[in-house]
Structure formats: structure tokens, C-alpha cells
């Protein structure tokens, strides 16, 4: 399936982004560990969250998390402390995504985990039981999802958990998001040193909990506002919090440099806020930025910059190599189709000094990666239209994305 996406002349829309996938996934694991029967409200309807919800509700002997990397990490830790024996597996791509750092850490805490295939990769066989916990060291420059997975089981460990992260700590905002969500459910967990988190053995409490909207999903509307030629464009996004703990909320600061103004307005009920996006003049010739704390924004910002002619040097992108695809190589390959030759360095940096190449305007391949489709679709506002192959991948984090684009005036022509 290919979508040919045709941009509108004017951009005016009222959009409710999906609930935060990051918070939903954490809240569901914590909900399950609490033994609660009150599901969090406004859960994300994306694939990743649906997988976790289905598994904790049914807990089959063979747990298939499909392409959900977050679910693989979180459920591996969760199953390690739940009584019973389970196998956890996923797609072929998932079977080539490393998980040894998390498995080694859990084994150190006493978990019974064996590899059913290649050493260091899923599928895994897990015999769950109560773990003692205690002190543990783990590299800080790995995916924060490993760290979050360990922290969330901390309160149910007999001795709690003291987790020290060595070296550079990447994606610290996601660790803070985990700790914040844990504390919402009664956990005693916080940084006890600059590199150490201490979690006390204190059971989670059951409580009603509402998930806020997703700043990662909002980033694509910031991209559209930056790229549109409509100087009177306005997009209203409902349910986003100004003081959000989501790391990707930094998008409002990044895009303020690229001509997008953010204003927060409260609803009459006072419960939800609306973010109003509008234009201001952009004179930015170059952007240097470290994405260590918000790597999921990289594709959005890279595509925006080249289409606006903003030269850049982006660092802190090492985790992009082990996402749903190698996002660094995927960006280089697909942007060449649009006539832009970006460069990579040290498997963790991307740069562009205005280099161009002959465009082919072939359909953008998505590599089973939702963020490739999400980030490239707004390019239609500059190119007038763009073709996206396998557009259904957006279901992983933003299932109603194409519907929302049509609400905003985009036309989508489906091609086989």
C-alpha cells in the first residue's frame, strides 16, 4: 500500500493527539504490579500499549510482543517477578534487537532467564519468582527503557533496588518520567546521587490515573506549522501539559527557533489545556543540538531542517541505530529521494551543510518504523505531495494520524 499525500493550501485544525505512549506503557506495568483493578484512564490506543494491555490481562504462556520494543523490555522485567513460566518473543526484527544488558542485570538480581535462540537476543524463556533486589550497576549509555524496566520492578523486590548508572546517562528525561509515574502510584523512588536511583521496597497503591496527550505525536504538528506556506496557519492541540515530564515536550523550545510559537490555553473545565501553534518569523541559518534526552524527535527535526534549508549538526543519536530500524541510515537513504544528502558520523551524529543530490521522488520507505512515516508526511507541505509506502506503520504510536491529516485538509490517495 502507498499513500499519496497532497498538502492543503491553508492549515487550520483542532486536533487531539493520542495519549502518551510512554506514560501509558509505564502506568500499565505499574498498574499490573500493584494488583489493581482500575485501569488508567485515557490509555493510548497504539500498538505498543495494546500489546502490553493484552498480555497483562491474559498472560499467555507464549508472549508475542510483535514489534513493540518497549513491551519487550518492560515485560521481560515484569515476567521475572511474576510467578509462572513464560516465553517472550516478537517479530524477526525484534529477534535481532539486543537485550543482553537487561537480561544480565535481571540475572544478577536472581532472575531465571534463558535464551531460546541466539545468545543476547529474544526470544527468552523466563521463570518468574520473587527477587531479592539490592545494589546493581548498569551502563548509563544504553536505552533508558532497560533502566526504566528495572526501576519499575524495584518496589516489589524484597530489598528494593539501588541502581547506579555508569558513564554518560542518556535519555535522562525518560528515567525521570518513569520515576514520576512510579511516585504517582505510591512508590518511594528518586535520585539519591547524580548517577544513582534508590527505590525502597514499598508496594504500589491502586488509584485512578489519567494519561496526558503525547508530546512525541505533537511534534509532527510542530513540523507542519514550520513547513506550511500559510502565514495565517493555526493548529490547536488538546490535552498536552505545559509542565509535562515527557522528554519530548522539549519540542516546543526546538521549534520556537524554527518559527513556531506555542501558547497554552485552559479549557472552561480547567482539566485539559489546549496548545495553540502559530507562526513567527524564522531567521535561523543553523541548528546544533544534542538529542541525548529526546532521540525520538530526531527524524522530525532532521526532515524539517533540510526542507527549511537550515544547516545542522546533531549529536546524541547512538540509540537510533537500534530502534525499529537503523534510523540514521534510513534518514540518509530516504532524504536522498527528496534531493538532500545528509552525512553521518561515529554512528551517533548527523550533519548537513546544504549538500544536494538529484531527487527521484520515489515513495518513502518506512522500514517498519512508525516515525519514518510520521516525520516524512508533513514534507508534502513543501513538495506539494509525497508518497509513503506501508503507511499503516503509524499504528505503533499514532493510529489515527492519517485521519487527523485529513481533518487538517490533507488529501490522501491510496495506491496499491
The residues carrying an active-site annotation are 296
Q: Please give, one letter per residue, the 3-state secondary structure of 302-339.
A: HHHHHHHCCEEEEECCHHHHHCCCCHHHHHHHHHHHCC
First to last CA, the chain: 5
Do 158 and 201 touch, CB atoms closer than 8 A? yes
Do 88 and 72 touch, CB atoms closer than 8 A? yes
Task: Encode 369-400: b = buried (16+ Cβ within 10 Å), e = exposed.
Answer: bbbbbbbbbbbbbbeebbbbbbbebbbbbbbb
Whether residue 104 has a cis bond before it, omega within 30° of 0: no
Rounded distance between C-alpha atoms, residue 54 and residue 41, angstroms: 16
Give the β-pairing of 196-199 and 161-166: antiparallel
Q: Who contacts 296 (Cβ-Cβ below 8 Å, separation ≥6)?
A: 216, 248, 371
- Work out the angle between the directed axes of helices 21-34 and 144-153 (0-180°, nearest 10): 20
Task: Encode 273-291: b = buried (16+ Cβ within 10 Å), e = exposed.
Answer: bbbebbbeeeeeeebebeb
Amino acid at each position: 500500500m502507498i499513500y499519496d499525500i497532497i498538502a492543503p493550501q491553508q492549515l487550520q485544525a483542532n486536533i487531539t493527539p493520542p495519549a502518551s505512549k510512554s506514560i501509558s506503557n509505564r502506568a500499565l506495568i505499574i498498574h499490573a504490579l500493584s494488583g489493581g483493578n482500575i485501569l488508567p484512564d485515557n490509555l493510548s490506543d497504539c500498538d505498543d500499549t495494546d500489546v502490553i494491555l493484552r498480555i497483562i490481562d491474559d498472560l499467555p504462556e507464549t508472549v508475542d510482543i510483535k514489534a513493540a520494543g518497549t513491551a519487550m523490555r518492560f515485560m521481560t522485567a515484569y515476567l521475572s517477578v511474576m510467578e509462572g513460566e513464560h516465553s517472550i518473543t516478537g517479530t524477526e526484527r525484534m529477534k535481532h534487537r539486543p537485550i543482553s544488558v537487561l537480561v544480565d542485570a535481571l540475572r544478577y538480581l536472581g532472575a531465571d532467564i534463558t535464551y531460546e535462540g541466539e545468545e543476547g537476543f529474544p526470544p527468552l524463556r523466563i521463570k518468574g519468582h520473587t527477587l531479592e533486589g539490592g545494589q546493581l550497576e548498569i551502563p548509563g549509555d544504553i536505552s533508558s527503557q532497560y533502566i526504566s524496566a528495572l526501576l519499575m520492578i524495584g518496589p516489589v523486590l524484597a530489598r528494593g533496588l539501588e541502581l547506579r548508572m555508569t558513564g554518560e546517562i542518556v535519555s535522562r528525561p525518560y528515567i525521570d518520567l518513569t520515576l514520576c509515574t512510579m511516585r504517582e502510584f505510591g512508590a518511594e523512588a528518586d535520585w539519591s546521587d547524580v548517577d544513582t536511583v534508590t527505590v525502597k521496597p514499598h508496594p504500589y497503591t491502586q488509584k485512578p490515573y489519567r494519561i496526558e496527550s503525547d508530546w512525541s505525536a505533537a511534534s509532527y504538528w510542530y513540523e507542519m506549522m514550520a513547513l506550511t506556506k500559510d502565514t495565517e496557519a493555526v493548529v490547536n492541540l488538546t490535552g498536552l501539559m505545559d509542565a509535562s515530564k515527557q522528554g519530548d515536550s522539549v519540542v516546543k523550545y526546538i521549534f520556537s527557533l524554527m518559527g513556531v510559537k506555542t501558547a497554552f490555553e485552559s479549557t472552561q473545565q480547567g482539566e485539559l489545556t489546549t496548545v495553540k501553534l502559530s507562526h513567527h518569523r524564522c531567521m535561523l541559518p543553523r541548528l546544533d543540538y544534542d538529542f541525548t534526552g529526546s532521540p525520538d524527535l530526531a527524524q522530525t527535526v532532521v526532515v524539517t531542517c533540510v526542507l527549511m534549508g537550515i544547516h545542522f549538526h546533531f549529536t546524541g543519536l547512538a540509540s537510533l541505530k537500534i530502534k525499529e530500524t537503523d534510523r540514521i541510515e534510513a534518514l540518509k537513504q530516504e532524504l536522498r529521494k527528496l534531493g538532500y544528502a545528509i552525512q553521518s558520523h561515529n554512528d551517533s551524529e548527523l550533519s548537513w551543510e546544504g549538500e544536494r543530490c538529484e531527487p527521484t521522488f520515489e515513495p518513502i520507505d518506512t522500514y517498519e518504523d512508525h516515525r519514518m512515516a510520521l516525520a516524512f508526511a508533513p514534507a508534502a507541505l513543501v513538495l506539494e505531495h509525497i508518497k509513503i509506502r506501508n503507511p499503516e506503520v503509524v499504528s505503533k504510536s499514532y493510529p489515527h494520524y492519517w485521519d487527523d491529516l485529513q481533518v487538517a485538509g490533507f488529501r490522501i490517495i491510496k495506491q496499491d
